[in-house]
Structure 1
Amino acid sequence: MDDLVNDNDDGSDEVNKEVVRILKQASEEVINSVDLSSQQLRFLPEAFGKLTSLIHLNLSNNHLQVLPDSIAGLVKLEELDVSSNLLESLPDSIGLLTSLKILNISSNKLNTIPESIAFCKSLEELYASFNNLIFLPTNFGFGLINLKILSISLNEIRFLPTTISELESLKYLDAHFNKLHGLPSLIGKLSNLEVLNLSSNFSNLTELPDTITNLKNLKELDLSNNQIKSLPESFGQLQNLTKLNLDQNPIVVPPMEIVMEGTEAVKGFMVNWRLANIAAEEQRRVVENDQNQGGWMAWGTNMVNVYLGQGVCMNTTFVLCKSSTQHAHGD
């Protein structure tokens, strides 16, 4: 254990002594929870992976730049907080934490999240805000079937992977202050989603897919500080929506005066808007059909006139043409 103190590279023996104390304690008794937050830690010893009984580990507000691969040894770990550190990446071995339920990696310098995260089958809450994330793993939604909360705000994310639609348990999605250019069309499959925050994506977010209206359980939707001009025509189908924020958008449909009246007014307007559009489309088809039929009739009448002008005889069934040859035979 004393070797851990000697290996210290941050000039703070006190911190490493605390780590050593915890490791020594773990060798003598079962430890379920460790709080090493705000200890100025610059590294975590590989030996930490031997704390196999650990359920809660708090390493927040330190100076950690990496996590050891040995963290995979924490097979019973349910909650890991490494927020407010200097992490630029996570070890692939994090995918071996199959008991993990809560992971907080916010306020770091992460550029990516390893694809192995999809193997954390028990994960229910993932907090990854305030990083440098540009995208999420393409397989992100396939394994995280129990994820209920996903916070990815304050990043540089431009597109969400289509697999996000597989997060069948997701209830809360916060993606505000990114660079989102839109949402995947399959977003409507998130049938349990209750809160969706897409605010402050600014000039990048200009429209929403029609499928967003399939989010039948959606209660809160924040679209403020974007460039959305029109809501999807079927927006009124969001019957459970009680809170809608459209502030700071160049909104045209619905009109701003309707928006100012509140969420119910917006939903009511969009229902009527859709019905009016359906009626207008039906009327257009009727008119177009009549014009097509009228066009054929006009063409037919014109051709008859031409033929009659050339000495054509007609009865109710056939058009019989008298040729000049027939006239020559005395017909």
Structure 2
Amino acid sequence: MTFPIFVDPSYQDPRSNENEADFEWDPNPADFPILAYVMDKLPTISQTLSNAAAEAFDIENPAPPAPKPHFELTERMPHLKKPELISAMRRAVTEIAQTRSVLQTIGPRPNHEVVDAARYKIAEIEAHSSRNSEELNKDYRKYKAVIALDEMHEAYGKMLTAAEKRLERLYEAAVAGVDPVVDDGPQTTEVKEEDAMTEEVVGILKEAESGKGIEMVDLAGRKLRSMPLAFWRLKSLIVLNMSCNRLEAIPGAVGELENLEELNLASNFLSTLPDSICLLSKLRGLNVSKNNITALPDSITNCRSLEDVDVSYNKLTYLPTNIGFELVHIKRLSIQMNKIRSLPTSIGWMKSLRYLDAHFNELQGLPASIGRLSGLEVLILNSNFSDMKELPETISQLINLKELDLSNNQIRCLPATFGHLLNLSKLNLDQNPLEIPPKQVVSLGVDVVKVYMNQRLADMVRADEERRMREAEEQVQEANILTRSTSWLKNMSGSVTDYLGSLGKSDADRYIHNEY
């Protein structure tokens, strides 16, 4: 399949300065163990070096090959040693290999800021009645190319998930002694059946049909793969718990649960949430933790009644740009165990936020707007490892902060005003290359740390004042010297003028003057 991609020479992905190895072309063994194993067994196709790469390549001293991730799967899955099974699996992932080659040629996925900007520009251009300008059409194609590239990477991610499941079914067939058959269908070893509705679900629907308003349904741990559409139209529902099932998708009909206040979809196999979730205007609690969600829909910002959001243990790389501007009533936000690299500036406008857990991400820092969260009491930022190197000075404005976990990062120096966190009673700074404050100070507890930082700040302020006083004195001295110099020059000028004036009149002049 050919993809019409228009590349603008002026376009540069914000991550283009990063090592290309950072982009995961190959499936991650942690997420797709069988697929990664099979892909590793595929023959590699040599690629033509680019001009820059060719110049950097030294044939006599080639760079050592990049180490491949080691994962030994055959100990747990011994049937992978069977040549016929591996052969069938290779055929099953042919499309994955082809798509990977296409993406490697086209380039890495643009980040969400670039994609959002491209969508905005497209909407702006389309708003014009005509696009007769060649320059305008060129820009339009450029932004469309960015969107197309993002969608291709999104589709590739879904292909990886589907391929892993297909390989799992092939392996199950091999274990059962059935010849592995490559099939594009959803199942290969068992008869395709509709998910049977449990008696419990049937009873709920019958009860609803009788006219009785059902406000709470708990179907956690029922191994459900799907639910009938009629279930998603129980308008009286207030609390719905569908956690610990096998749901792979939530239909758009969920938006019809107009009175829903609590929705628990934790521990399923969801990769996305429907845009119609924005219709749940009364939703206060949302738990979609422990799924495979890669991005939250922007429409979630319309759920303005939300107070508790748990999206932990997913595959998020960012949060919606305007999430903080719209969801101002959130009190508890759990985003730990994702791959988030930065928090949006808007998070500083979550004026009701009391609890924020962002540990085990890839955060490179915090936005300065974090200081606006004056009601924040708990902030957990541990285990962002080499990415988290510093904190903004504005963190000292979190006047109600009681607990702060910064362990397992690369922080060397706390902000100078850190001691202003008067209510801070629990602080974890373990596993950081701290220089300020020294580790011996940290070992004495949070109160000693605050005293140390306040004393250090006072010393800095005093040193700054002394420096400014010295500079002021030097300026005064310079001004005095200048004044004295000016006065001396004036006196000298007067003396010279008088002297020159006296020289101007000779005896001959006086004689001539008397004669006439």
**1:270 and 2:445 matched:** no
Closer, same or farther in 2 for the Cα pair 1:13/1:96, shift >3 Å? closer
Matched, 1:34 2:220: no
Deviation string, structure 1 residues 114-135 (Cα, Å, up to 9, x no partner): 1221221221110000111111
Cα deviation for residue 97 of structure 1 reads 0.8
More strand, by proportion: 1
Which residue of structure 2 aligns with residue 249 of structure 1? 432
Q: Secondary structure at the match of 2:386?
A: coil
Partner Cα separation in structure 1 for residue 192 and residue 362 of structure 2:
37
What are the within-5 Å matches in structure 2 for residues 312-323 of structure 1? 313-314=491-492, 319-320=493-494, 322=496
Which residue number in structure 1 is paired with residue 30 of structure 2?
none
CA shift in 2, pair 1:147/1:328, >3 Å? same
Report the alpha carbon displacement of residue 295 of structure 1 after superposing the two structures with TM: 3.8
Residue identity matched to 1:106: S
Counterpart mapping for 1:136-175 below 5 A: 136-175=319-358
Structure 2: distance between partners of 1:290 and 1:175: 50
Q: 2:382 aligns with which of 195, 199, 212?
A: 199
Distance 2:261 2:372 in 1: 28
The CA distance in 2 between the partners of 1:134 and 1:10, in whole Å, is: 35
Equivalent in the alignment of 1:292: 475
- Give the deviation of 1:167 after TM superposition: 0.9
Amino acid at match of 2:504: H
Whole-angstrom distance in 2 between the partners of 1:123 and 1:136 = 15
Answer whether contact 1:39 1:62 (CA < 8 A) is retained. yes
Root-mean-square deviation over aligned CA pairs: 2.2
Q: Aligned residue pairs: how many?
A: 314
Q: Is the 8 A contact 1:207 1:229 kept in 2?
A: yes
* Greater mean alpha carbon deviation, residues 118-127 or residues 14-23: 14-23
Q: Distance in 2 between matches of 1:149 and 1:50?
A: 28
User: CA offset at residue 237 of structure 1?
Assistant: 1.1
Matched letter for residue 270 of structure 2: L
The 1-side partners of 2:194 and 2:254 are apart by: 23
- The 2-side partners of 1:71 and 1:90 are apart by 10
Q: Structure 2 CA distance, aligned partners of 1:329 and 1:284?
A: 55
Q: Which residue of 2 aligns with 1:22?
A: 204
Please tell me whether the aligned partners of residues 225 and 249 of structure 1 are also in contact (alpha carbons under 8 angstroms). Answer: yes
2:443 matches 1:260: yes
Give 1:100 shift.
1.1
Distance 1:132-1:10 versus aligned 2 partners, 3 A rule: farther
Unpaired segments ≥5 residues, structure 2: 1-190, 507-516
Measured in 1, the distance between the counterparts of 2:196 and 2:360 equals 39
* Residue pairs, 1:73-222, within 5 angstroms: 73-222=256-405
Q: 2-side partners of 1:322 and 1:98: how far apart?
A: 91
Q: CA deviation at 1:39?
A: 2.1
Q: Tell me: CA distance 1:13–1:93, structure 2 relative to 1, closer, same or farther (3 Å).
A: closer
Question: What CA deviation, in whole Å up to 9, does each residue of 1:217-241 have, x standing for no partner?
Answer: 1100001011111111111111111
Change (3 A) 1:118 1:17: same
Q: Once structures 1 and 2 are overlaid, which stretch shifts more, 13-22 or 210-219?
A: 13-22
Hey, what's the Cα distance between the residues in 1 that align with 2:343 and 2:290?
A: 20
SS for the counterpart of 1:320 is: helix
- Output the amino acid matched with 2:365: G
Q: In structure 2, what residue type is equivalent to 1:22?
A: I
Deviations 1:172-204 (A, max 9, x none): 000001111111111111111100001111111
Tell me how far 1:146 sits from its aligned partner.
Answer: 1.8
Q: Hey, what's the Cα distance between the residues in 1 that align with 2:192 and 2:317?
A: 31
Question: 1:40-79: CA deviations, max 9, x gaps?
Answer: 2222322222201111111111221211111011111111
- Superposition deviation, residue 157 in structure 1: 0.7
Q: What is residue 125 of structure 2 aligned with on the other side?
A: none
* Cα 1:304/1:20, change in 2 over 3 Å: same
Residue matched to 1:329:
504
Unaligned runs of 5+ in 1: 1-8
Distance 1:10 1:188, change over 3 A: farther
TM-fit CA distance, 1:38: 2.0
Question: Aligned partner of 2:368: which letter?
Answer: S
Matches for 1:299-314 after TM superposition, within 5 Å: 313-314=491-492
- Asked if the contact 2:389/2:411 (under 8 Å) is kept, the reply is yes
Task: Give 1:264 shift.
Answer: 0.4
Say whether the 8 Å CA contact 1:15–1:40 is kept in structure 2: no
Cα distance between partner residues in 2 of 1:180 and 1:75: 36
CA distance 1:10–1:82, shift in 2 (3 Å): farther
Contact 2:195 2:226 in 1 (8 A): no
Question: Which residue is 2:34 aligned to?
Answer: none
Looking at secondary structure, tell me which structure has more helix per residue. Answer: 2
Kindly state the Cα deviation for residue 284 of structure 1 after the two structures are TM-superposed: 0.6
- State the secondary structure of the residue aligned to 2:437: coil
Name which structure has the greater RCO, CA cutoff 8 Å, separation 6+.
Answer: 1
Q: Are the aligned partners of 2:396 and 2:417 in contact in 1 as well (CA < 8 Å)?
A: yes
Are the equivalent residues in 1 in contact too, given 2:195–2:224 (CA < 8 A)?
A: no
CA contact (8 A) 1:229 1:251 kept: yes
